[in-house]
């Protein structure tokens, strides 16, 4: 997926996996199904005890992505470590139980390139169950495109960006020091800091990811 001669910006996808053996393969393969041609994938297993490591090792042998298995460090520390090792101008964390839709980066990267004032670009999500089936339409979240500044986010004036679709401009993420390991709602806090630094958060209307709703979710996406 990575091509050093490609003029398109490199996107670094970061997957921190923890006890998601039933879902991690679909997440990884959704990255390789992207139509955007310049992507690197970094995967870290953060102390799983469910056979995830062996499965990811088999996928690594097949697909060739960067993989590290480690004792549990927690999500924020693991993401910061991966950011430090990654090379992309854009950073896309992905939950190890969620999936990207194929057009995701083909929509987000051109938007970010046209809008240097945007620190984070996100999009719509489709809610799915543990078997990958879409939830009934009445449970889906159909929301229009929107732009958020700090006040919009802090005062909850507009719906925030769905976590599975977050695409960070590396410059903005590094400017605020990455993710804070002392904060549990890590995505919301880093969004606030990036918006406070003067960047906008733009959310596209198009669905960009599948968000899995199941019993072992580590947190519930509130967007």
pLDDT at 217: 56
Cα separation, 170 vs 84, in Å, equals 10
Q: Residues 118, 202: contact at Cβ < 8 Å?
A: yes
Q: What domains sit in the chain, N to C, each tagged with a CATH number?
A: 11-212 (3.90.550.10)
* Neighbouring C-beta atoms of residue 54, cutoff 10 Å: 12
219 pLDDT more than 70: no
Cα separation, 71 vs 182, in Å, equals 18
The model's pTM is 0.93
pLDDT in tens, 145-162: 999 999 999 999 999 999
Average predicted confidence (pLDDT) for the chain: 94
Q: CA nearest 146: which of 156, 136, 133, 137?
A: 156
Tokens of 23: 């879902």
DSSP characters for 143-165?
---EEE-HHHHHTT-S----GGG
pLDDT in tens, 57-67: 999 999 999 99
Provide mean pLDDT across the span 180-206.
Answer: 95
Q: CA nearest 56: which of 31, 21, 83, 32?
A: 21
Cα separation, 223 vs 95, in Å, equals 15
């Amino acid at each position: 997926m990575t091509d050093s001669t490609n003029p398109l910006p490199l996107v670094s996808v970061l997957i921190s996996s923890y006890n998601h053996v039933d879902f991690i393969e679909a997440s990884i393969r959704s990255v390789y199904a992207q139509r955007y041609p310049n992507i690197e994938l970094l995967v870290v297993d953060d102390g799983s005890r469910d056979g995830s490591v062996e499965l990811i090792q088999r996928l690594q042998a097949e697909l060739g992505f960067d993989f590290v298995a480690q004792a549990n460090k927690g999500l924020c520390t693991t993401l910061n470590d991966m950011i430090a090792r990654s090379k992309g101008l854009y950073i896309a964390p992905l939950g190890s139980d969620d999936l990207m839709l194929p057009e995701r980066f083909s929509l987000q990267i051109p938007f970010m390139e046209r809008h240097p004032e945007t620190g984070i670009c996100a999009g719509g999500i489709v809610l799915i169950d543990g078997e990958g089936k879409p939830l009934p339409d009445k449970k889906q979240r159909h929301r229009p495109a929107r732009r958020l500044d700090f006040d919009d986010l802090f005062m909850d004036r507009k719906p925030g960006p769905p976590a599975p679709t977050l695409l960070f401009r590396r410059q903005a993420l590094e400017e605020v020091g990455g993710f804070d390991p002392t904060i549990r709602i890590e995505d919301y806090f880093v969004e606030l800091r990036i918006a406070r630094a003067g960047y906008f958060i733009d959310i596209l209307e198009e669905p960009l990811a599948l968000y899995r709703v199941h019993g072992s979710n580590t947190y519930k996406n509130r967007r």
